[in-house]
Structure formats: C-alpha cells, structure tokens
A and B are shown apart, each in its own frame.
Chain A
Amino acid sequence: EPEVTQTPSHQVTQMGQEVILRCVPISNHLYFYWYRQILGQKVEFLVSFYNNEISEKSEIFDDQFSVERPDGSNFTLKIRSTKLEDSAMYFCASIGTGSYEQYFGPGTRLTVT
C-alpha cells in the first residue's frame, strides 16, 4: 500500500539554525499539507499546497516558514531561523483528487536547543 514518507525521523538543531524537513507524498496525490503537534497538544494546520503554490496557511506559518516542491516528488518545509518554540512533531499529509481522507506520514520530531 502506498504511503507518505518523511525524513529525517528526528532532527536536533540549535536555535537560529535553518532546517529543512522532507516529505514524499503518495505519487498520484495533488494536495499536500504540513501540520505540527507540540508535545502534549493538538495537531495544528500549518499550510496547504496545490498546483505548485500555497493554497492556504495558518497564522503559525509566518515568514520564517516556507514550502517547496522542488522536483515533483519531494515536498519540503523550511524553517529559516528556528526558535525553541518550533520544537514539535511535524507531519506531512497528502490527498488525492476525488478523495477525502488525508494520508499522513510518520512525522519528523524537531528539537530546537
């Protein structure tokens, strides 16, 4: 069964550093999402991406964040200058045309020290 994959599984970085989180959505899916889950809290929407552009973003997704689909298979989330409060589990999700359920990757745990 096809699945969404994410790398790395765990990333530790120092405050102020840039990080790139990578996702490979299911191959025929067209809508892509990033969510985050701060430890012990609910899953929160960050951004959605369709047709090579951002279709919607939350207030969490400020100028420090960016997304890209550089090569038709990968979908990346970049945080330019990480803050302590960016420490969270980041989930990528994708959805196919005519479908309703989002398929989630296993997540990347980001720890900012």
Chain B
Amino acid sequence: AQSVAQPEDQVNVAEGNPLTVKCTYSVSGNPYLFWYVQYPNRGLQFLLKYITGDNLVKGSYGFEAEFNKSQTSFHLKKPSALVSDSALYFCAADSGNTPLVFGKGTRLSVIA
C-alpha cells in the first residue's frame, strides 16, 4: 500500500532562517510527489511537484524540494522563512493518475 510520512507535527523556525519540512514516501513504481499548503479556512494550494528529471524542483513562493530516491524522501525547503509562510504543509504522492495519498501534515510556525 502506498503511504506518505511526515514525521514532524510541528516545525518552528525564526524568520530569515532556512526551513525544512520532512517527507518520506512508499509508492509502487515511479513516484509522483507533491507539496501542498493549507492556510486557515482555505483549501489546499499546490506548491510544487516532482515527476521526473532534476531532483531539485522549485515551486511557488521560493519553496523548493529535493527528491532523494535512495532515501525515499522529498523534503520541502526554503532558504529564508517568512512569517507569512506559517501554515499547514502536506506532502502527497501518487504513481500517475491515481488518487493522491497524503501525509498527516506538518504545521510550520515562523516566528518574527
């Protein structure tokens, strides 16, 4: 069965510092990996995806993620966090036109 793990419920980081939100996956076949962000009372907003090609993918709002096949990881990163980045972040995976499997989410809190 496919699964996505986000080992941290909460990540706290000071504004201006780099941030990392961790994600590991278990998908049969080649994984399609995604990050979504959810602001309070809002839907899921697409940030970035990895389908194939370069392991480092860049997305919206300065976020990037690195696909590591050997570690089955797809950690979300940003070089310099903003207070406005505070939100709930979901990692998700599928194997191509299959339903997304989501991690439980990680709440990011950026402190001024």
Interface residues of A (CB under 8 A from B): 4, 6, 31, 33, 35, 41-45, 48, 56, 58, 91, 93, 95, 100-107
Contact = CB atoms under 8 A, between A and B. Distances in A.
Contacts of B90: 42-43
B46 to A, nearest CB: 5
A6 B42 CA distance: 11
Contacts of B51: 100
Contact of A104 (B43, B99, B105): B43
Contacts of B22: none
6 contacts: A45-B99, A56-B99, A58-B99, A100-B49, A104-B43, A107-B43
Query: Chain B contact residues (Cβ within 8 angstroms of A): what range?
Result: 20 to 34
B42 A45 contact: no
Contacts, number: 52
Interface in B33-72: 34, 36, 42-46, 49, 51
A35 B32 CA distance: 18
Contact of B101 (A45, A56, A101, A102): A45
Nearest to B49: A101
B97 A31 contact: yes
A100 B43 contact: no
Given A43-B90, A91-B43, A107-B43, A33 B99 contact: yes
A93 to B, nearest CB: 8
Nearest to B99: A45
Most B CB within 10 A of own CB, among A31, A95, A107: A107
Nearest to B46: A101
B84 interface: no
B97 A102 contact: no
Q: Top 9 closest A-B pairs, CB basis?
A: A45-B99, A106-B43, A104-B44, A43-B102, A42-B104, A104-B43, A107-B43, A101-B46, A42-B102
